[in-house]
Amino acid sequence: MAERVMAIYDEDSFYAERLAEFINHRKQAPFKALAFTALEKLKGYGKDHEIDLLLIQAGVSKEEITSIRTEQVFYLCDGEGSSLEESSKGIYKYQAADGILRDVMEAYLTGDHDDGLSSMISRTGKVIGIYSPINRCLKTSFSLTMGQLLSRDLKVLYLNFEDCSGLGKLFGEELKGGLSDLFYYYSQEKYSWIRLGSLVYTWGELDYVPPVQYPEDLNQIGTLEVAELVRRIARESPYETIILDLGQFGKKAVEVLDVCDIIYMPVMDDCVSVSKIEEFEEYLTTSGQESVKKRIQKIKLPYHCNFGRRESYVEQLLWSELGDYTRQLLRKQP
């Protein structure tokens, strides 16, 4: 399959080149991004090459780009009196780069495109499950720390399956869309790589899909469907590692854990926690899930304290005792 091209035209070379660099580095969209700062060069390229998607600064008329063979055009608007023809599609250019990409992917989907890109992925991503039947065991802090560390060298997607995750407050960002939408698209057989890309946010180098907006959304599809959705993401996306932060499924989490290559289970020493772990292990044995049990690696995480503001909590995780512990753990993994 020929590589799909996204052309970006803006007279500001710094803007165009940085946006193209971000898109190519993140690999969140199934396009190769090319930056152009001279309209004639863009026209020249467009005469000989087909452009699947064109992002072009507002103010360039349709007549000027008639010679460019392109499937869809989106105008980059500065929000200060930019006027577009009614049939034109505009994207606010000065938002965060991952926001631009989400908007573009969402708008691209309105054209009813079938990405058909699963054949382009030559390997399946590794799935890491993080689960414990006990609460307040640093599960999410560990998940975020691992995600940050792994994303320095790999393409990582973090998925949080809690009904009240607090991620929006931690990341300091208003999150729109997320797993609620992904569950809906999957249940309607409308899931695709591009659909996933329209819901992905980026924090540092780590990609994540916002958790459900309402607790009831976790009941949209069952755990077996969640497991199959994760399998499809691993097969059909460029993510090399997918981290599942599992919190609300109870014993039925086993059906999701079955897709994981490795499972980290935070444990604690108090008698209630030990009893919960033992009960869960007995359930794995009696339900014939010994293969899942063999993939579980129990971990006792160091508690951390003396952190500053909540807004910087996630960054501080890397330099805490938990960060040091996670680095050592990852060094031991094959």
What was the pLDDT predicted at 208? Answer: 93
CA gap 243, 156 in Å, rounded = 7
The mean pLDDT value of the chain amounts to 84
126, 240 Cβ separation under 8 angstroms? yes
CA gap 191, 9 in Å, rounded = 30
What is the dihedral angle through the alpha carbons of 78, 84, 88, 90, rounded to the nearest 10 degrees?
10
Q: What single-letter amino acid sits at 149?
A: L
Residue entry with tokens 């009893």:
275
pLDDT in tens, 68-95: 888 888 889 886 545 555 556 788 888 8
193 or 295, greater pLDDT:
295
Q: What is the mean pLDDT of residues 25-32?
A: 74
CA gap 43, 52 in Å, rounded = 14
Ramachandran quadrant class, 328 (left: phi over 0; alpha: psi -120 to 50; beta: rest): alpha
Q: What is the mean pLDDT of residues 13-33?
A: 84
What was the pLDDT predicted at 118? Answer: 45
pLDDT in tens, 90-130: 888 888 888 888 888 877 776 555 555 444 444 578 999 99
What was the pLDDT predicted at 166? Answer: 78
pLDDT in tens, 54-67: 999 888 888 888 87
pLDDT in tens, 194-230: 888 888 988 888 999 999 888 888 877 888 999 999 9
pTM tops 0.85: no
Whether 29 has a pLDDT exceeding 80, the answer reads: no
Residue entry with tokens 């794995």:
284
What was the pLDDT predicted at 297? Answer: 95
SS (H, E, C) 54-98: EEEECCCCCHHHCCCCEEEEEEEECCCCCCCCCCCEEEECCCCHH
Contacting residues for 294 by C-beta, under 8 A, at least 6 apart: none
Share of the chain above pLDDT 90, in %: 41
User: Exposed, middle or buried, 261 (CB in 10 Å: 0-12/13-18/19+)?
Assistant: middle
What was the pLDDT predicted at 87? Answer: 54
pLDDT in tens, 166-180: 787 777 777 777 899
pLDDT in tens, 142-156: 999 999 999 999 999
What was the pLDDT predicted at 274? Answer: 93
pLDDT in tens, 155-166: 999 999 988 877
What was the pLDDT predicted at 127? Answer: 96
Sheet holding 51-57, edge to edge: 32-36, 5-9, 51-57, 70-77, 89-92
